[in-house]
A and B are shown apart, each in its own frame.
Chain A
Amino acid sequence: MSISNKPLLWLPFAGGGMLAALLLPALMLVLLLDSLGMLSTAALAHERVRAWVSQPLVAISACVFITLVIWHAAHRLRMTLQDLGVRDAGARRLSARICYSAATLATVALAWVWV
Chain B
Amino acid sequence: MSSSVYTPKLPRWWWLHHAGYRRYMVRELSCIPIGVFAVMLIVGCWRLEQGPESWQAFRAALATPLALVWQLIALAFAVYHSITWFALAPRTMPLRIGARRLPASWIAGAHYLAWAVLSLLVLRIVGG
Residues of chain A touching chain B, judged by Cβ–Cβ distance below 8 Å, are: 14, 17-18, 20-37, 39-40, 42-44, 46-50, 53, 62, 66, 69-70, 72-74, 76-77, 79-80, 83-85, 106, 109-110, 113-114
Contact = CB atoms under 8 A, between A and B. Distances in A.
Contacts of A66: 38, 41-42, 45
A77 B31 contact: yes
B82 interface: yes
B85 to A, nearest CB: 4
Interface in B5-38: 12, 15, 25, 28-29, 31-32, 34-35, 37-38
15 contacts: A21-B85, A22-B111, A22-B114, A23-B119, A25-B115, A26-B120, A34-B59, A40-B128, A44-B126, A44-B128, A73-B31, A73-B35, A74-B35, A113-B49, A114-B45
B51 interface: yes
Given A26-B123, A113-B49, A80 B39 contact: no
